[in-house]
Amino acid sequence: MDAIILQILNGLDKGSAYALIALGLTLIFGTLGVVNFAHGALFMIGAFVAVTVQRFLGFSFEQIDPDKTDFLGNPLKVKVTYVESWFGPEVGGTIVDWSVPVAVLVAIPIMLLVGFVMERGLIKHFYKRPHADQILVTFGLAIVLQELIKYFYGANPIQTPAPSAFKGSFDFGVLVGFDPNAIIYPYWRLVYFAFAVVVLGAVFAFLRFTTFGMVVRAGMADRETVGLLGINIDKRFTIMFGIAAAVAGIAGVMYTPILSPNYHMGMDFLVLSFVVVVVGGMGSLPGAVAAGFLLGILQSFASMNEIKSLIPGIDQVIIYLVAIIILLTRPRGLLGRAGVMED
């Protein structure tokens, strides 16, 4: 029992990331009818916003510390970050320590802007083109973005630690009545899951309870009719693209303590997220979220040693296997509509 709970927990953080990326993918597909292969790159850019923020907060200058001396008795120079010198060591130190959450705040406007620019500058011209063209041009864009990041940040993963308050693990098992040490779980993963739930909840609430969201949902169901009603659906869809980009971006920011960002993480996640979208049902938002968590958890189960010894290699292929089975038995995916993207 505790092993099962542990695997579910282990699947949550990956599942959260899949769900967040897949949500944006399917939102863009549902609203704009565009298959966006550059969506993984947005996740990656988000992660590198976190890296950049961390670097900015880490900028420092040398200062003579009157209290410290070297072994000759001369005053010692110490490095002090600008943030610390502006806000005092206490507050400044906390800000530096909390660089990842701070980066979320920075990432939202940046990603919205990236999203708007991408949609207005490129995607807009591909609404009427075949899906193959959309895939290809966004694939090209993904390569470009990836290479730019590689150019500026290098090819090696960059460590981006979580705030020290959330470093380390805790004994989740004890909280729910198991023996100590049965379920040890890192704090940050729980934070990530909670964060994902909040973001997903916010997006769904936004779509459900605002007029804007209502128009977007109506547009997803029947774009032409909504257009005929004299509503400027395009503008709203542009904003939706920005929101999808922002969701992917902050998902990337928060993921950095779990996986040190590297330039190809976007592509790695993109392939899996696409599988998630298809399993959930193209154009279905709840489907994408459900499939994201489902596949994340399945993957973590498949990597249990007991399962692996039973079916060797299952951990490597489980997601694809599930996708193949679902596509063949339920062509629309778990919660999809009929006839979407069959052309």
Partner 1 sequence: MKILGLSAKDTRFLLIVIFLTLATPILLQPFPEGSGLATFNAGYPDLMQRFAIFGIFAIGFNILFGLTGYLSFGHAAFLGVGSYTVVWMYKLLDYNVVWGLPLAVITSGIFALLIGFVSLRRSGIYFSILTLAFAQMSYNLAYSVLTPITNGETGLQVYSSDSQVLLGASEPTTPHFFGIVMRDNFWQPNFGGWQFTFNNGYYFTAIIAIIVFYISLRIFRSPFGLMLRAIKTNQTRLNYTGINTRPYTLAAFVISGMYAGLAGGLMAAMDPLAGAERMQWTASGEVVLMVILGGAGTLMGPILGAGFIKYFENIFSKINDQILQGWFSWMPDWLSGLLIEISHFFVGKSWHLTLGLLFMLVVIFLPGGLVEAGQRIARLFKKKPPENGGKGSDHHPQPAPHVAE
Pairing assessment for the beta strands 169-171 and 75-81 based on DSSP bridges: unpaired
For residue 310, state whether it binds partner 1 (rule: CB under 8 A).
Answer: no
Toward partner 1, which CB reaches closer, 230 or 313? 313
Stretch that binds partner 1, among 112-120, 157-165, 207-215, 320-328 (CB under 8 A): 320-328
- Give the shortest CB-204-to-partner 1 separation in angstroms: 25
- Give the shortest CB-168-to-partner 1 separation in angstroms: 31
Toward partner 1, which CB reaches closer, 47 or 149? 149
Stretch that binds partner 1, among 8-16, 17-25, 54-62, 273-281 (CB under 8 A): 273-281
Q: Which of 136, 190, 304, 334 binds partner 1 (CB under 8 A)?
A: 136
For residue 151, state whether it binds partner 1 (rule: CB under 8 A).
Answer: yes
| Cα atoms in the 13 Å half-sphere on the side-chain side of 67 | 0
- Give the shortest CB-150-to-partner 1 separation in angstroms: 7
Using the CB atoms, write b or e for 9-43: b if 16+ within 10 Å. bbbbbbbbbbbbbbbbbbbbbbbbbbbbbbbbbbb
- Give the shortest CB-335-to-partner 1 separation in angstroms: 15
Q: Which long-range contacts (CB under 8 A, 24 or more apart) does 3-7 make?
A: 3/304, 5/172, 5/173, 5/176, 5/178, 5/183, 6/182, 6/183, 6/185, 7/297, 7/300, 7/301, 7/304
For residue 298, state whether it binds partner 1 (rule: CB under 8 A).
Answer: no
- Kindly list the residues in this chain that would bind partner 1 in the complex (CB under 8 A): 35, 122, 125, 131-133, 135-137, 139-144, 146-148, 150-151, 267, 271, 274-275, 278, 282, 312-313, 315-317, 320-321, 323-324, 327-328, 331, 341-343
